[in-house]
Amino acid sequence: MTTTETRLLTAEDLLRLYSEGVRGELIRGVLCETMPAGHRHGAIVVNLSIELGNFVKPRRLGWLVASDSGVWLERDPDTVREPDIAFTSAEKIPLDADIPGYAEVAPDLVAEIVSPSDSRREVHDKAQMWLLHGVRLVWVVHPDTRTVDVYRADGAVTTLADGDWLDGLEVLPGFACEVGAIFDA
């Protein structure tokens, strides 16, 4: 009887693979390759990023990053996740910080846009994973239904639809945008 041990990857391995054209996340050392999710997905990421950026940047509230940046959540074995959009306050990462690799602090806010291949269970589990690692607010955006599930650190989950307003709550007080605005061209 022979057993083959799978070599777990590290965050450094993931950075090296990315430079070789391999894109993905690490889940407890296991590479989960990701693929481009399509035009609609990308448009929603940009729309929501613009809304957030127009609020965050002039106020110098912190960092707003997209999926390619990665967040290092666990070590030995390593977990590096790629939120579609993440906001991290300037209190956690100063605005003059230079982070060439993955950020090693959990963002304050994460937005995940559901891809065509994602199941509702997968995105719910991912939102819960973010909350377990200290993210205070998670927005799960559903393009097919034009809704947003809002997950809060206290365990509350609310679903917003066209006509409702997405609110930054205590994470980004004063931020609000109409849900429909993130879906429209």
Q: Which domains does the chain have, with CATH numbers?
A: 36-71+80-182 (3.90.1570.10)
Q: Is the CB of residue 75 less than 8 Å from the CB of residue 12?
A: no
pLDDT tens-digit map of 87-111: 999 999 999 999 999 999 999 999 9
132, with CB counted inside 10 A (0-12, 13-18, 19+), is exposed
Provide the CB-side half-sphere exposure for 1 (13 A, CA): 0
pLDDT (mean) for 41-55: 96
For residue 2, the model assigns a pLDDT of 46
Q: Which of 13-22, 49-58, 146-155, 169-178 shows the lowest mean pLDDT across its residues? A: 13-22
Q: Is 73 in a helix, a strand, or coil?
A: strand
Name 170's bridge partners.
Answer: none
Q: How far apart are CA 68 and CA 61, in angstroms?
A: 21
Q: Express each pLDDT in 105-138 by its tens digit.
A: 999 999 999 988 888 898 999 999 999 999 999 9
pLDDT of residue 120: 85
Q: What is the pLDDT of residue 118?
A: 86
Q: Each residue of 147-184: pLDDT tens digit?
A: 999 999 999 999 999 999 999 999 999 999 999 999 98
3-class secondary structure for 8-64?
CCCHHHHHHHHHCCCCEEEECCEEEECCCCCHHHHHHHHHHHHHHHHHHHHHCCEEE
| Residue 6: both structure tokens together | 């799978």
pTM above 0.75, yes or no: yes
